[in-house]
């Protein structure tokens, strides 16, 4: 589990094709990896990945065909920035919201507008996910916990304060960019309990 509070921005160092899927090598010198071991989980732009290699500069993780189909990781290239967060410990503060790192779908940036000292970003997401987004609820975009301002159809808007822009890959994003979306897991479980159907 994660919180959606990005701890560092890393970079894709290398993308290695391996037997039909990929191994991503991440330059993570800005993140303290002293307590990270092989087999640990790290959140990479919203995707929970397992560390399979470690060195002084970062780590490597395998990306399955399922993850490649459901996220933006298959389009990452060397030099691309990624948001990084280590797994939540039971003693940690929960500054964002509970994030599993299991991406529900890929959305896109459709608008960026000035709003006082922050920027108002509008995202479009797959229509099947829109029912899980609620005004003043939580959503995870590229591994960042955000509060939803409003919802209109399959679009939702958030405000990004200067700190969030500086501390995440949003500083490099633009209109048209694809983003990983994870809806609030509580909403998914509530639907499952109410309908008895898998979502």
Does 94 reside within a domain? Answer: no
CATH of the domain at 175: 2.40.30.20
- Rounded mean pLDDT of 14-26? 96
Does 71 reside within a domain? Answer: yes
Extended beta strands in the chain, E state: 8-18, 21-27, 41-44, 47-54, 58-63, 81-86, 105-115, 118-124, 138-141, 144-147, 150-152, 155-160, 178-183
Same domain, 53 and 109: no
CA distance linking residue 63 with residue 191, whole number of Å:
29
Does 1 reside within a domain? Answer: no
Same domain, 82 and 114: no
19 backbone φψ class: left, alpha, beta (φ>0; ψ -120 to 50): left
Predicted confidence band at 198 (pLDDT cuts at 50, 70, 90)?
Answer: low
Does 95 reside within a domain? Answer: no
Range of the structural domain that residue 114 is part of: 105-195
pTM (two decimals): 0.92
The number of distinct structural domains making up the chain is 2
List the alpha helices (DSSP H) in the chain: 65-70, 162-167, 185-195
Same domain, 153 and 191: yes
Burial class (CB in 10 A: 0-12, 13-18, 19+), 102: middle
pLDDT of residue 190: 80
Does 183 reside within a domain? Answer: yes
pLDDT digits (tens, 9 = 90+) for 92-131: 777 778 899 999 999 999 999 999 999 999 999 999 999 9
Predicted confidence band at 197 (pLDDT cuts at 50, 70, 90)?
Answer: low
CA distance linking residue 184 with residue 141, whole number of Å:
11
Same domain, 160 and 189: yes
Which sign, positive or negative, has the C-alpha torsion 160, 163, 165, 169?
negative
Last residue of a domain, one of 57, 86, 115: 86
pLDDT of residue 199: 54
């Amino acid at each position: 589990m994660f919180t959606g509070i990005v701890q560092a921005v890393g970079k894709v160092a290398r993308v290695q094709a391996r037997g039909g899927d990929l191994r991503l090598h991440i330059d993570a010198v800005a993140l303290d990896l002293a307590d990270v071991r092989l087999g640990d989980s790290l959140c990479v732009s919203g995707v929970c990945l397992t560390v399979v290699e470690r060195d002084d500069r970062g780590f490597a993780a395998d990306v399955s065909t399922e993850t490649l189909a459901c996220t933006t990781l298959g389009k990452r290239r060397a030099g691309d920035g990624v948001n990084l967060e280590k797994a939540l410990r039971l003693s940690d503060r929960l500054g964002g919201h509970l994030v599993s790192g299991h991406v529900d779908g890929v959305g896109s940036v459709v608008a960026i507008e000035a709003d006082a000292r922050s920027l108002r970003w509008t995202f479009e997401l797959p229509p099947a996910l829109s029912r899980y987004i609620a005004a003043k609820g939580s959503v995870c975009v590229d591994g960042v916990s955000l509060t939803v301002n409003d919802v209109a159809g399959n679009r939702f808007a958030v405000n990004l304060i200067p700190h969030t822009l500086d501390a995440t890959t949003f500083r490099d994003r633009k209109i048209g960019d694809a983003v990983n979306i994870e809806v609030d897991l509580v909403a998914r479980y509530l639907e499952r309990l109410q309908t008895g159907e898998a979502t």
